[in-house]
């Protein structure tokens, strides 16, 4: 059906984001009324909570999103959401709110998030999250920018301008994705129905700024939650197999290099495991979600690095079956054990191979492969350190 599409339009939307971030001055604050700092602080507290919890929910669904390019985009989006939450939290700290995660704020956000989780199909979920929650966030940022004091609140204005542009670009991405994936009348109907329902849920929850009146009860969805997902999904272009590949001899340069970079494409499973941890790790310190989101995006980048190098070597990843068994077996363990295994054991144990192959690429003059491996080693060193810090925190 409509999912068999090239990723260019989706990716070009993402690339636009970073260029336009620094240039946006489209919403000018008004200075119309004296600013109410208590109200602004409450808004910022709720906005950072919505950014954090929607990022976690995106993580929960990422393994079940079928379109390969969308899976990559979601890895970036959830990292951007946590970065925005981090900037809002820094501003709250300046405004003398040292602990923005009070239970009242989190409790006001989570019920709606858990309902948005109940979509039954990936494109339906994207419609609700992006056209419901992310659109509400974009509108809230614009409204804040119009209302706040143009001199007193400049540090917030800088952050919220950037946040608004990021959200608006993500909504644009979702509209492009939905136009490509929801190609039948039935799918378009599902998209519209769930997006409208998401708006109703968020409105009933008091909006994303926590200032509107809340309904006594949120409207229940007509069906149950599918999260967490036991298997990761691939779109129809891929062949999928449960087993991995045997390593060719290192002196068979062509076969070994192809094997190594195909293996990088399969690191999407690591991204999917981390995305699942983001959702399933409930009640963690905010910094944990920030680190896991970065780690998840890094693994998407490693997968992309593999894809690009495989193409340079004269192949397309769709020719080579994808291995999905690692995600499936890791889902058998609780999320913290899963995170510990990935960082402390799997990533920790991967350095010997990486160093051996790096030296070999230098020896045979394959600078591109050597540099790719070096960037990966740098990322992986950080990932192992994050896992060790988490382990030390648990002890």
Residues at the interface with Fe ion (CB under 5 A): 267, 299, 302, 347, 380, 383
**Closer CB to Fe ion, 309 or 383, in the complex:** 383
CB of 295 to Fe ion, least distance (A): 6
| Minimum CB distance to Fe ion smaller for 338 or for 383 | 383
DSSP at 65: -
* Least Cβ distance, residue 379 to Fe ion (angstroms): 6
CA-wise closest residue to 194 among 210, 176, 173, 178: 178
Beta-carbon-side half-sphere exposure of residue 90 (alpha carbons within 13 Å): 11
Instruction: Tell me the closest approach of the beta carbon of residue 176 to Fe ion, in angstroms.
Output: 28
Q: Which of 42, 379 has the CB closer to Fe ion?
A: 379
Contact call for residues 296 and 59 (beta carbons, < 8 A): yes
CB of 260 to Fe ion, least distance (A): 12
Structural contact between residues 273 and 54, judged by C-beta atoms closer than 8 angstroms = no
| Closest CB to Fe ion among residues 168, 267 | 267
Question: What angle is formed at CA 370 by the lines to CA 369 and CA 372, rounded to 5 degrees?
Answer: 65
Residues 49, 106 contacting (CB under 8 angstroms): yes
- Are the C-beta atoms of 141 and 85 separated by less than 8 Å? no
Q: Which is nearer to Fe ion, 159 or 310 (CB)?
A: 310
Distance separating alpha carbons of residues 332 and 71, to the nearest angstrom: 22
CB of 298 to Fe ion, least distance (A): 6
Enter the tokens of residue 385: 């350190």
335 close to 281: Cβ distance less than 8 angstroms: yes
* Closest approach of Fe ion to the CB of residue 306, in Å: 9
Closer residue to Fe ion (CB): 187 or 302: 302
Smallest distance from Fe ion to CB 66, Å:
22
- What's the rounded Cα separation, in Å, for the pair 277 and 3? 27
CA dist 130 → 4, 8, 98, 239 (Å): 22, 20, 30, 29
Nearer to Fe ion, 2 or 391 (CB): 391
Residue among 85 and 274 whose Cβ is closer to Fe ion: 274
Q: Which phi and psi angles does 62 have, rounded to 5°?
A: -55, -45
Closest CB 376 distance from Fe ion, rounded Å: 6
In whole angstroms, give the CA distance from residue 196 to residue 119.
Answer: 13
Structure token digits, residue 135? 């659109």
């Amino acid at each position: 059906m409509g999912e068999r599409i090239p990723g260019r339009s989706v990716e070009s939307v993402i690339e636009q984001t970073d260029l336009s971030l620094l240039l946006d001055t489209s919403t000018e604050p008004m200075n119309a009324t004296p600013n109410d700092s208590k109200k602004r602080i409450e808004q910022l507290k709720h906005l950072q909570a919505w950014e954090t919890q929607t990022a976690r929910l995106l993580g929960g669904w990422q393994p079940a999103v079928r379109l390969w390019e969308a899976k990559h985009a979601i890895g970036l989006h959830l990292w951007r959401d946590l970065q925005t939450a981090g900037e809002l939290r820094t501003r709250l700290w300046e405004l003398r709110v040292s602990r923005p995660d009070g239970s009242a704020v989190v409790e006001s956000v989570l019920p709606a998030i858990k309902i948005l989780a109940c979509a039954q199909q990936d494109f339906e979920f994207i419609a609700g999250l992006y056209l419901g929650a992310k659109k509400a966030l974009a509108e809230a940022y614009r409204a804040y920018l119009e209302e706040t004091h143009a001199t007193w609140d400049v540090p917030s204005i800088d952050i919220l301008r950037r946040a608004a542009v990021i959200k608006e670009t993500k909504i644009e991405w979702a509209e492009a994705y939905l136009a490509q994936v929801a190609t039948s009348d039935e799918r378009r109907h599902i998209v519209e129905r769930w997006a409208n329902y998401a708006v109703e849920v968020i409105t009933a929850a008091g909006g994303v700024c926590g200032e509107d009146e809340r309904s006594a009860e949120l409207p229940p969805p007509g069906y149950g939650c599918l999260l967490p997902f036991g298997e990761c999904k691939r779109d129809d272009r891929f062949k999928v197999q449960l087993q991995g590949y045997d390593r060719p001899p290192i002196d068979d340069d062509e076969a070994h290099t192809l094997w190594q970079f195909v293996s990088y494409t399969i690191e999407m499973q690591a991204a999917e495991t981390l995305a699942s941890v983001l959702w399933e790790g409930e009640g963690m310190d905010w910094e944990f979600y920030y680190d896991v989101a970065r780690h998840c995006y890094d693994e998407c980048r490693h997968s992309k690095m593999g894809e690009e190098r495989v193409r340079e070597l004269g192949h397309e990843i769709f020719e080579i079956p994808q291995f999905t068994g690692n995600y499936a077996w890791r889902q058998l363990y609780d999320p913290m054990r899963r995170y510990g295994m990935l960082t402390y054991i799997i990533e920790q144990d991967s350095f010997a191979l990486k160093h051996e192959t790096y030296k070999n690429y230098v020896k045979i003059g394959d600078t591109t492969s050597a540099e790719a491996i070096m960037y990966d080693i740098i990322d992986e060193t950080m990932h192992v350190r994050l896992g060790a810090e988490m382990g030390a925190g648990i002890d």
